[in-house]
Homo-oligomer: A and B are copies of this chain.
Amino acid sequence: MAPMTLPTFPDSLVQRDAGGRILLLVLDGVGGLPGSDHGQTELEAARTPNLDRLAAGSSLGMHHPVAPGVTPGSGPGHLSLFGYDPLVHQVGRGALSALGVGFELRAGDLALRLNLATIDAEGRVVDRRAGRPSDEEALQVVRRLREGVRLKNERIEFFLEHEKEHRVVLIFRGGRLGEKLRDTDPQEVGVPPLTPRAFRPDPDPASENTVRVLRDFLDEARKILKDEPVMNGLLARGFARYEGFPSFEDRFGLRGAVHARYPMYRGVARLVGMEVTGTPSTDEEAVGLVERHFSEYDFHFLHYKAPDARGEDGDFAGKVEALEAADAWIPRLRDLEPDVLVVTGDHSTPATMGIHSWHAVPLLIHSRWARPTAEAFGEGACRTGDLGTIEGRHIMSLALAHAGRLKKFGA
């Protein structure tokens, strides 16, 4: 059953011709749990004088990115922050991988993940990851396939992109393509790959079409790779038809820009139509991109990965340091004079857990129309803030409201 949901708000309320500028700073995985020896979370333990001063002029709250108890992946976590209900707008693995490597997906494309694998003379899987090849080695094989494979169905184009090590993304484009296929990856060694097949019972014609195209692709690939000593097989999974999204600009009247070091976050922002300002190789460069392009866009999304990475490492002190580093950018961001500055995360990553979690995420909305309640930014201050504990998909309407970009609802 399709999930029922309230719309965030009627898009007809959006004031398209005017309004303030919005800056969203995502501290990835910012939410935490108390460290064992002091009872403070990572954010509470961090010395963040600039964030604390910002909080003193902000409305505070907490948010559930998807729903209470649900641990978000990075895709749904960010879609929620962008005002898209992540239970409605689902993006499959293959499509996220394609976006992650910077591929320009179009509505109707069918994306899937391929593993380079080793197959023995009897056709059985020997290594599901082909000995974890280097990117260099894997890319050689990807190029041979790109050049060699000719599909029988001439209406179908294919695109092959290397992701990392043994991981490859395959995109089919053209005709009716469905995603209801079982994986060919048997998830074990000593057995042959599974044959491409649509889910039963009642396979849909579009997925049956994809089965034919994929079988043809795999047959061609087998011939091309038969002389490869290690990377001589392919395992397919994560079939995802990309449906296309109503764009950020269409929905909110905002020209949006993403400033992010990692492709995944540029990908999810591009999904809703934000423009990529560059491919910074340091966080410092990402902040510089915001400064350089600030006047060109109505909405800026600045992504900062380190708190999540340190949280996943289980490194409490490292996550504290990562948050303190972000604090130093706040004066520079305030100097840009955004009408609304939102600071939050796409999910929690408590260092004590070492993994994404479902815990509510601290939220700060700074604007001249704020209702301040505390002079600190942390779970304790946020949970008694004026915004209450909300669903993440409502942050966008709050940001728009504070920017003077929403009309009154009804007379």
Taking beta carbons and an 8 Å cutoff, which residues of A are in contact with B? Answer: 3-10, 13, 33-34, 41, 62, 66-76, 86-87, 90-91, 93, 96, 350, 353, 356-360, 369, 371-373, 379-380, 383-390, 394, 396-402, 406-411
Contacts and interface: CB of A to CB of B under 8 A. Distances in A.
Nearest to A4: B4
A359 B383 CA distance: 17
A67 B6 contact: yes
A410 B6 contact: no
A68 B411 contact: no
B360 A390 contact: no
Contacts of A408: 71-73, 356
A9 B67 contact: yes
Contact of A406 (B71, B93, B389): B71
Given A3-B10, A6-B6, A71-B409, A384 B386 contact: no
A402 to B, nearest CB: 8
Contacts of A72: 408-410
B70 A411 contact: no
A93 B411 contact: yes
A342 to B, nearest CB: 12
26 contacts: A4-B4, A4-B5, A4-B7, A9-B66, A10-B87, A13-B70, A34-B372, A67-B397, A68-B387, A69-B394, A69-B396, A69-B397, A69-B398, A69-B402, A70-B409, A71-B401, A71-B406, A74-B411, A76-B410, A96-B410, A353-B369, A358-B397, A358-B398, A373-B383, A383-B385, A388-B389
A22 to B, nearest CB: 12
A386 B383 contact: yes
Q: Chain A at the B interface: mostly helix, strand, loop or mixed?
A: loop
A41 B72 CA distance: 37
B68 A398 contact: yes
A390 B64 CA distance: 11
Most buried by B among A8, A91, A369, A373: A369
Contacts of A74: 410-411
B6 A401 contact: no
Most buried by B among A62, A93, A371, A386: A371
Nearest to A7: B3
A73 B410 contact: yes
